[in-house]
Amino acid sequence: MNEDRLNLPFVGIPTFLRSPIRTDLKNLDADIAFLGIPSDEGSPWYPGARMAPRVVREMSVRFAEYGAVQQAAGIYDIDTDKHYLQYERRNERIVDCGDVDILYTNPAGTFANISDATSDILQAGAIPVVFGGDHAVSYGVVRAYEEPVSVVHFDAHLDYRPFVHGVEYANGSPMLKIGKLPHVRQMVQVGTRSIRTSKAALQESLDRGNDVVTVNGFRDQGVDGILRHLPAGGKVYVSIDIDVLDLPLVPGCASAEPEGFRFEEMRQMLFAIARHADVVGLDVVEINPMLDVRSNNTSLLGAQLAVETIGRVVEQPAYLARKGRTAQ
């Protein structure tokens, strides 16, 4: 008698959510494409974020459930009494595209590879779900978009550091670079709170027309303080620096800061954006497994944020219309 494999989390080769591997990006057939960018060459403090895509994959299998039947059930949310990602899991519409090839000591070459891989995913009509690496990599991803997008940037920092000594592919400067891209429209920067923030960087962000919502500002205004800056149904790219969460939640983050968001606050902000806008891309960066606790809590948390957010993104009317589907 043949039975489906149980496939416990510690068995087998880990891919994101135990999804099939699809590394031929020129012939990609998928709706959601996981892409790793294991680069931390732009980190001026502790290195190690390059190891995140590998560890995030390992942690994500805990959300894949055991055996084919349970995996096909999707992701169940007890609060909403609803399964998410059922269609995508049953029909293998989520795939793991492997990692971008990193050209060490050649950041321009690495970033060309990042943009090329992202472009291939977009040309296939899939949503890239990207894990860095440090935050510098987000520029290479957003640069690949051809249509106008707004950007929601979750971070304890503004990432508007000037290019000192010609250092521009650094994790303190991606939003400065992204803000100069001609197809990037509104930028909303959420969670800023670090006392290392400079007034000059804040002014440059504001002069560009960005909206800056601090942690305290969010708690005063609620999620409407974010959504009112984004066109309803408009295309949005979401970039999540894991340090936007409170320091004790993210021990595996070199840039963690106190007094950040609670996990539930973060979830609900992401869910609200997914309902309000058409999310066309997502990255999670600055997870550093070399610093994390033994149970890899920070990687697990990052994987969960991505999985739960995508579960809401694929129910957005604009997304379903592109796929010729209706809400279930």
Q: Which residues are annotated as a binding site for Mn(2+)?
A: 135, 155, 157, 159, 241, 243
Q: Are 298 and 305 in contact (CB under 8 A)?
A: no
Binding region: 135, 155, 157, 159, 241, 243
3-state secondary structure of 187: strand
Q: Exposed, middle or buried, 82 (CB in 10 Å: 0-12/13-18/19+)?
A: middle
Contacts of 25 (CB under 8 A, 6+ apart): 97, 117, 120, 121, 124
CA distance 237 to 138: 10
Burial class of 231 by CB neighbour count within 10 A (0 to 12, 13 to 18, 19+): middle
- Between strands 127-132 and 211-214, the pairing is unpaired
Pairing of strands 82-84, 75-77: antiparallel
* Side-chain half-sphere exposure of 233, counting CA atoms within 13 A: 5
14 CB contacts (<8 Å, ≥6 apart)?
A: 57, 58, 60, 61
Q: Give the E-state strand segments of the chain in sequence order.
A: 32-37, 75-77, 82-84, 94-99, 127-132, 149-154, 184-192, 211-214, 235-241, 278-285
Inter-residue contact 239 to 149 (CB < 8 Å)? no
